[in-house]
Amino acid sequence: MTRKRILGSAGYYIVAVLLAVIALVPFVWMISTSLKSRGALMSIPIEWIPAEPTLDAYGEVFSRFPFLKTIGNSLFITCSFTLLTIISASMAAFAFAKIRFRGSRLVLGLYLATMMIPTQVTMIPLFVVMNKLGLIDSYASVILPGIFKPFAVFMLVQQMRAIPNDFLDAARIDGAGIFQVYRRIALPMCAPTIATLAVTTFMESWNDYLWPLLMLTDRNKMTLPIALSTLNGQYNTEYNVLMAGSLISMIPIVIIYLCAQKQFKNGLMAGGIKG
């Protein structure tokens, strides 16, 4: 290995480590703040390692409101939203990619063009629809919008088109119906992309604040982002309690990513190659 290549590799790793440290600073600050007492928050110089660490902030989070109930609400809504998105998007992508019908390209183009419409534009009409259906202040009002996800369809269409038609034809020859071909052939072959979609959709729904805020008025049905916003007062904010709640809210996302990181990476690579 030449000296130039050694210096290049060393520079690459130094920059990568610096970027990683910069990215970790806010996370370390969250942990440090959550372990401080209220009086130590504004101490100067800043204490990155609390002199007297305490878990009082975590206990305070659970005493302010039914935190476990709130986590349960978020898990139910997020899991349902993610499952509904994957099912609807994968069925639509299979139809666009593998079922021939007149005007399929035009319909797909119009469908994907809706990605250019800002969410804020459709929020009021969607609210009116939910109100007409009598779904305001129900979990369904937050979950049902997962049926219409153009970006999810776009991701899966690219993967579905890469599936050789010979596999589908062989299944049809063996007597499989269209739904069996979709479930037994298409879905397993799109597993990496579906895993990527599941992780990103889970994160999107878990962190969603505005739509659940508009739909859910019952305190017992509020999601975690709404609950955490109540810790941020107009005149005073207890940052240690807020950081403790935020760290707890990150646990499900971290677990989901750790469980699906291999499929997530494969899905990104497949999307990069076929896109």
* Token reading at 55: 């878990």
- Torsion angle, alpha carbons of 238, 242, 245, 250, to 10: -160
The Cα 166–Cα 268 span in angstroms is: 25
Measure CA 114 to chain center: 20
User: Residue 238: pLDDT above 70?
Assistant: yes
Top-confidence residue, 221 or 50:
221
pLDDT of residue 82: 93
User: Residue 97: pLDDT above 80?
Assistant: yes
Q: Which stretches of 99-216 are DSSP H helices?
A: 104-113, 119-132, 139-143, 150-161, 165-173, 178-181, 187-189, 191-207, 210-215
The Cα 9–Cα 2 span in angstroms is: 11
Closest by CA to 253, choosing from 81, 121, 113, 78, is: 78
Highest-pLDDT range among 52-61, 80-89, 225-234: 80-89
pLDDT of residue 143: 93
- Which pLDDT band holds residue 264 (cuts at 50, 70, 90)? low
Strand stretches in the chain, DSSP E: none
pLDDT in tens, 225-234: 888 887 776 4
Q: Which stretches of 133-164 are DSSP H helices?
A: 139-143, 150-161
> ∠53-55-57 over CA atoms, to 5°?
110
Average the pLDDT over 47-73 and give the result. Answer: 81
Tell me the pTM. 0.81
State how far the alpha carbon of 1 is from the alpha carbons of 8, 11, 13, 16, 20, in Å.
11, 15, 16, 21, 27
107 φ, ψ (degrees, to nearest 5): -65, -45
